A = this chain, B = another copy of it.
C-alpha cells in the first residue's frame, strides 16, 4: 500500500509519544517528528490546537488528512493500516489479553502520572516529595498487577504474549523502561524485568528512547 508522508507531533520524554515511536519503528515506518515542549505549553498554542483541540501529544498526521490522536487509537490504526509485522495476536482472546495488559498501563496508571495531573496536585498542596510518592505508588501498583498476570498466564513467553513483540510490550516498556530512566525502582517483578531486557535489546525500542529525541 502506498502511503502519504507521516508527521508525528511528540514530546521527547512522553510515555505516549514513546509508544507511537516504537510502533512506527516496529512497522518500519519513517515519520518526521515535530517536537513540542509540553512543559512549556507548546501543546496549547493555536497552531497545535487546530491539529489537536485536546492540547495533548501525540498526534500523527498522514499526508493532508486530519490528525490521529491518542496513543491507543494511533497504535490500533498503525496495526490496521500496516498489519505486517503484527503487533496484536491473530485470535480474539489473545488480542483481548494484550489489550487488557495495555490498559493497565494506558488507563489505570499513565494518566495519573502526566504533567497536568502532577501540576494540579502541586497547586493543591502536594509537595514535590508527595508528588513523587504519588507516582511511585501507582507505578508500583501497576507492576504488581502486571507481574501477577504475566507470571500466572501460560501465554507469557519471551515477551508479554508469546515470542514476539506486541502492543503489550510497547505499553509495558513505555511505563517501566522510561520510569526506570526517571528513577523508579522496579522490585519483585522478575517476569517484567526479563521482558524489558528483551525489549530494550530491540532496535525500535532503542531508537524511541527519550535520550535519542532530547534537544541538545
Contact = CB atoms under 8 A, between A and B. Distances in A.
Interface of A: 53-56, 65-66, 68-74, 76-77, 80-81, 92-93, 95-97, 99-100, 102-104, 106-112, 117, 120, 124-126, 130, 134, 137, 145, 148-149, 152-153
Contacts of A54: 104, 108, 145, 148-149
A108 B53 CA distance: 14
A88 to B, nearest CB: 10
Nearest to A108: B111
A107 B65 contact: no
Nearest to A145: B54
Nearest to A146: B54
Given A92-B80, A117-B112, A148 B53 contact: yes
Contacts of A69: 100
Given A54-B145, A77-B92, A149-B53, A110 B107 contact: yes
Contacts of A71: 103
Nearest to A92: B80
A107 B104 contact: no
Nearest to A79: B92
Nearest to A96: B77
A137 B110 contact: no
Nearest to A76: B99
A145 B68 contact: no
A73 B149 CA distance: 15
A112 B53 CA distance: 21
A112 B138 CA distance: 12
Given A53-B148, A53-B149, A120-B137, A81 B73 contact: no
